[in-house]
Structure 1
Amino acid sequence: MWFVMRRMWQWTAALPGERGRRGLRLPRSVCDYARRMRGAQRYRGDAGPPPAQLVWSAFSGVTSFVAIAVLGLIHKYGAAIRDHHLPFAIAPAGATAVLVFAVPASPLAQPRNVVCGHMIAALIGTFMHALFAHVAPSFRWMPGALAVGVSIFLMGLTSCYHPPAGATAFLAGYFSPDIERVGWWFPLYPVLPMSLIMAAVGVILNNICRVYPLYWFTPAPRAKAGDAGQAPALPLPLSTPDPPPAKDADQIAWLRERVCELEREVEALRGRGADAQLAVEPL
């Protein structure tokens, strides 16, 4: 039994941990914790080596549980929500939790994308719901499809892509009981509070052991190779950073070794070709 458990731990520890290249490390102080909230592009601290996939997945699962539990508690014990049977913990929140807590380095998981993506989708979905409110039942599929398509178009124009927002648009446009209860208030309630809570909980919990968000509003521009006096921008996705640049001398030495290897391979191929030709000529 111990042998099996030891082998399983070695296997999980050897996994690359692609989702957490910044590693899992507690902040050194309260100030360091606050500096992480400024965004990874402005944070200069060392976040350590990449963790095992088991550790990364466990931390993502625990933080996702806490975020959804906050929404569930508000939905359960909110006085106005309980008395009027209003929706709050809507299904797209679960999909948002996957992005914010499992792949926080993704551009799709940044607070701007979370809030703006959900709001755009909710507005378009509510508009489509009102536009097709009096159509025949045979066309009830149309507003949901249009809401998703138009929402994706607008999210692309505003660079606010957020996949769970597609579910928000579909939920608003497809004549669901939630939109029937709140009507035009659907973007302001429950979509806006839900998205703000998910982004806020993501900033609070993710920065305990990693750095979130990448940026608040817009990503930093990448510096061009010929720009003088311009500091190079940090790599955007924390999960897949650019490899460190090699020194010129090391790179030249490596290229010379590679050229020598290729020359030896060419000579070997030529020798094989000559031997084959000599073997064929007598025939």
Structure 2
Amino acid sequence: MNFILRRLSQWIRALPGKPGHRGIWLPTSPLDYAQRMRGVQCYHAEIKPAPPVLAWALFSGFSSFTSMAILGIITKYGPAIKDNHLPFAIAPAGASAVLLYGVPSAPLSQPRNVFFGHLIAAITGTFMNQLFKNTPDSLHWLPGALAVGVAIALMGIANCYHPPAGATAYLAGFYSPDAVRVGWWYMMYPILPVAIIMITVALLFNNLARVYPVYWFTAVQMTPSMPINEPKIRVTQDSEQRRQEESGGESRRSASPDEVSFVDDHIDNEGSADLVWMTARIHELEQELHELRARQLRYEEARSHPSPSSAV
């Protein structure tokens, strides 16, 4: 297993990517691979920048193909699906694949959002469908519209937005003979199995290149006021304030460029997804700097107040 990972890492690092990227970040061992599935908050190894564009595109395409192929095979050959004509491979799964395998570090791509977003949407859509199944033809548009609106409101309350779930709610709520016939089975087949299968494939493939998920249930706390183009200034100000508190208000040296160079080197303007990774890394760096400053203060105090034994 280790040999395969090393050879695959060597091959992928040879692929062209963005300037400054250090290649794909493959697991160093099967244990490291398994630990990544615990999430960024539980994974204590160094978080490296995103992999090269071409390498990540290949991973995203292959993992998307794998998940869609599994759903298609189940739809074609699954006895319970085939006999009851249930639409196991649904359109929202393709939309979820873009988030899960294309931008796995985005908040909308985390397992909690995917699973509970689709679940809430399926329940809401099915409820609206059953509620309005005896309405006249002139009102057949109403349950689908209500399903999407109510599902989005409930996802907001539960803090588990997942955009493809809007299609799940609309397909379940939109009046059609098939939707009425399937009824509450729409929640069990296909929504929940589809979400579980796609999350499982994301865990297996995304952790070959990054750490997925970023979190399972508790989101990484981000600083709303931290602009993406001024990270060095904010980190320096926070560090200076903490130094003044530790030294009783006495101003100490400013943070060196090396202490905050990580922020400048890892800024990526492709979107807010990488900001989650940067924020987690910034918290780790600030903690390390805090420990180093505490050790420095203890060292300076020991030098200014030598013990009697050392004086003799």
Report the TM-score, using the length of structure 1 for normalisation. Answer: 0.72
Aligned residues: 228
CA spacing shift, 1:41–1:152, aligned 2, 3 Å:
same
How far off its partner does 1:48 sit?
3.9
Q: Which moved more, 1:32-41 or 1:182-191?
A: 182-191
**Match of residue 215 from structure 1:** 215
| d(CA) in 2 for partners of 1:156, 1:14 | 36
**Local SS of the residue matching 1:208:** coil
**Match of residue 145 from structure 2:** 145
CA deviations 1:102-128 (Å, max 9, x no partner) are 000011011111110001001110111
**Match of residue 52 from structure 1:** 52
| d(CA) in 1 for partners of 2:130, 2:274 | 42
**Local SS of the residue matching 1:89:** coil
| d(CA) in 2 for partners of 1:222, 1:14 | 26
Contact 2:172–2:179 (Cα < 8 Å) also in 1: yes
**Match of residue 165 from structure 2:** 165
**Residue 129 of structure 2 aligns to which amino acid in structure 1?**
H
CA deviations 1:60-92 (Å, max 9, x no partner) are 111111111111111111122122222211111
How far off its partner does 1:169 sit?
0.2
**Residue 38 of structure 1 aligns to which amino acid in structure 2?**
R
CA spacing shift, 1:239–1:186, aligned 2, 3 Å:
same
CA spacing shift, 1:100–1:23, aligned 2, 3 Å:
farther
**Match of residue 27 from structure 1:** 27
CA spacing shift, 1:16–1:154, aligned 2, 3 Å:
farther
How far off its partner does 1:55 sit?
1.8
**Local SS of the residue matching 1:219:** coil
2:274 corresponds, among 234, 239, 250, to 239
CA spacing shift, 1:116–1:178, aligned 2, 3 Å:
farther
Gaps of 5+ in 1: 1-9, 229-236, 248-283
**Local SS of the residue matching 1:26:** coil
Percent of residue pairs bearing the same amino acid type: 53
How far off its partner does 1:196 sit?
1.0
CA spacing shift, 1:115–1:178, aligned 2, 3 Å:
farther
| d(CA) in 2 for partners of 1:23, 1:239 | 16
How far off its partner does 1:181 sit?
3.2
Contact 2:120–2:154 (Cα < 8 Å) also in 1: yes
Pairwise CA RMSD = 3.1
Gaps of 5+ in 2: 1-13, 224-237, 246-271, 290-312
Contact 1:87–1:178 (Cα < 8 Å) also in 2: no
**Match of residue 73 from structure 1:** 73
CA spacing shift, 1:220–1:54, aligned 2, 3 Å:
closer
| d(CA) in 2 for partners of 1:188, 1:182 | 10
**Local SS of the residue matching 2:134:** coil
CA deviations 1:153-199 (Å, max 9, x no partner) are 00000001000000000000112454233112211221111111111
**Residue 37 of structure 2 aligns to which amino acid in structure 1?**
M
Q: Which moved more, 1:54-63 or 1:177-186?
A: 177-186
CA spacing shift, 1:217–1:14, aligned 2, 3 Å:
closer
**Local SS of the residue matching 2:168:** helix
Q: Which has the larger radius of gyration?
A: 1
2:18 corresponds, among 5, 9, 14, to 14
**Residue 143 of structure 2 aligns to which amino acid in structure 1?**
P
